[in-house]
Chains A and B, each alone.
Chain A
Amino acid sequence: MILTNFHLLVGILLFSIGVLGFLIRRNLLVCFMSIELMLNSVNLIFVTYSNMLKSTIGLMYVFFIMAVAAAEVSIGLAIIILLFRQKGTVDMDSLNTLKG
């Protein structure tokens, strides 16, 4: 039970670190890595509860999250490459076209 608590604590710590990285970093690639960090922390919490409740459903959701994350990374990195071709930078503060 203490070990389960520790795994859940690691999960929410990783999620908070991911949110913090997304908020304070301005490099688009590092922000994208923070999103991956958040997805991984959710996976850890799913696996922990799945182990605690002796259920397979949590493992299935981890499987689907991984598949969606792989598709998301391929699309997102293609968009980042397009942005770099247009703007010449991956700094988030330079992407302010909509603000006028």
Chain B
Amino acid sequence: MISTYLSYIFGVVAVIAAASTILQKNPVYSAASLIIVMISLAVNYLLLDAEFISAIQIIVYAGAVMVMFVFVIMFLNVGDVSKIKPNWSSGRIWGGFLTVVLFVQLFLAIQTIKNNVEAKDILSESLQGLDSTRMIGKVLFSDFLLPFELVSVVLIVGIVGAVVLGKSKD
């Protein structure tokens, strides 16, 4: 029962912190709000029986990605960049309108999918009764072996690309 209350609390916290992320003037505050969103989502993953995903959410997102964001914000020293007055308030109104339309569409889509999907057990026999971390390990190194290796190539490309882009021209 307490896990249900925790889910509700951290879900609401995630939404409020997400709103704070896009409304803060200072990018450092936005980054701090985004860290709160990611930690709340990690708690929700833990309550949804996905312990491994919760751990790498904390390590990769709240750790590595957000540290890089904060590092770049402080490196560039942008602070409050809104010195120019906004000259496209009509664009903002259209953006808000389109977002509401998108939200309604997503809501209807989720209602439709929820009515059509029946919960059935599609696990194979060998994975019955395992916790989610063991299941991820078994599936990752059997059925998803090729995508797993390709992801390592993607990460290598990311590293090399960042170094090539970041080096000085001489």
Interface residues in chain A, defined as those with a beta carbon under 8 Å from any beta carbon in chain B:
3-10, 12-21, 23-27, 29-30, 32-34, 36-37, 40, 43-44, 47-57, 59-60, 62-64, 66-75, 77-82, 84, 89-91, 93
Bound state CA distance, A47 and B55, in angstroms?
14
Q: Output the residue of A25, A68, A93 with the most chain B CB within 10 A.
A: A25
Q: How far is the CB of A6 from chain B (nearest CB, A)?
A: 6
Q: Across the A-B interface, how many residue pairs have beta carbons closer than 8 Å?
A: 221
Interchain CB contact (< 8 A) of A67 among B68, B81, B151: B151
Query: Contact between B37 and A68 (Cβ–Cβ < 8 Å)?
Result: no
Of all chain B residues, the one with the shortest Cβ separation from A79 is B165
Query: Contact between A60 and B48 (Cβ–Cβ < 8 Å)?
Result: no
Interchain CB contact (< 8 A) of A5 among B27, B114, B122: B114
How many residues on chain B are close to A (CB under 8 Å)?
Answer: 79
Query: Contact between B95 and A13 (Cβ–Cβ < 8 Å)?
Result: no
User: 9 nearest interchain CB pairs?
Assistant: A21-B22, A71-B158, A23-B95, A78-B165, A12-B106, A16-B103, A20-B99, A10-B11, A51-B48
Interface residues in chain B, defined as those with a beta carbon under 8 Å from any beta carbon in chain A:
4, 7-8, 11, 14-15, 18-19, 21-22, 27, 30-31, 34, 37-38, 41, 44-45, 48-50, 52-53, 56-57, 60-61, 64-65, 68-69, 72-73, 75-76, 78, 81-82, 84, 86-87, 91-92, 95-96, 98-100, 102-103, 106-107, 110, 114, 117, 119-123, 127, 132, 135-136, 139-140, 144, 147, 151, 154-155, 157-159, 161-162, 165-166
Q: A29-B27, A81-B76 are in contact. Are A10 and B165 (CB under 8 A)?
A: no
